[in-house]
Amino acid sequence: MYIVIVGGGQLGRHLAKALIAEGHEILIVEKDKDHCRTIANSIGSVFVNGDGCETAVLANAGVNRADMFISVAAYDEDNLIACQVAKYRFNVPHTICRVRNPKNEEIFKKLGIDTVVCSTKIILQYIEEQVPSNSLSHLTTFKDSVSELVSIRILEDSPTIGHTIRDIKMPEGSELMLLIRGCERPIKPQENTEIASGDQFIVVGLVENADKVRFALTGLF
C-alpha cells in the first residue's frame, strides 16, 4: 500500500519505519526542517517538506493515489484538517487521525474521519488496568526494539518532589510525552512544571535507559 503520514516527529518516524519494514511505500509530510533532517538521517528521503494541511503540498505528495492517510502532527486541529483534505479533496479510502484531547475523539468521527486514535485515552486505560505499585512500568516496546514507552510514578518519598522539569537531566534520547496528575486533564510537561507526589509521567526513550529515566525523574534507584 501507499501510505502518507503527516507529522515527522518521533511517532511519525516510528510508524514510517515499521510500515516500511512491512513492505509498504511510505511518504512523510513534515513542515519542520529540523525534523526533515532527522528523517533523512534515520530513514532516508521518504519525506516532503511542507504543511500537511495545504492542498498543494498534499498534491505534491501524491495523496491522490494513497491507499491510506495518517496524520500524527502535534495539534489535533492540524490532524483534522489534513485528514479532511485527504478524504474530501483527494478521495483517500481510509484516513487515520491521532488526537491528544479525548474530547475531540467523537467530534472528529462525526466530521468524517474514518479512524480516530486518542493516544491519551489509550495510555490512561492501560495505566488504570495495570495500576503499577512501583515507580516504573513498561508500557510498550516499539517495533525497532530500541525504543519504548514507560510510565514513571512519583512516589511520596521521591527526592525530586518540588523540583521543576528544568532541574531534571533526562538521559539522551528520552522525551517527556505526558503528565497525568490526579483528575486533571493530561498535559505536556513544561520546563517550569513542578514535580509532585503521585504524578505519572509518560516517557519515550531507549530501552537501555529505562532505569536512568526512573532515577532522573524520581531520584530513586
For the record, the C-alpha cell of 14 comes out as 516510528
Rounded CA gap, 107 and 55, in Å? 23
Confidence of residue 70 (pLDDT cuts 50, 70, 90): very high
Q: How many other β-carbons are positioned within 10 Å of the β-carbon of residue 1? A: 13
Amino acid at 29: V
CB distance 186 to 151 below 8 Å: no
How does pLDDT run across 85-129, given as a tens digit for each residue? 999 999 999 999 999 888 888 899 999 999 998 877 776 666 555
Q: What pLDDT shows up at residue 127?
A: 57
Q: What is the mean pLDDT of residues 52-75?
A: 95
Decide the pairing of beta strands 115-118 and 94-99. parallel
Q: Report residue 116: phi and psi, to 5°.
A: -115, 120
Q: How far is CA 172 from CA 94, 138, 206, in A?
A: 36, 18, 8
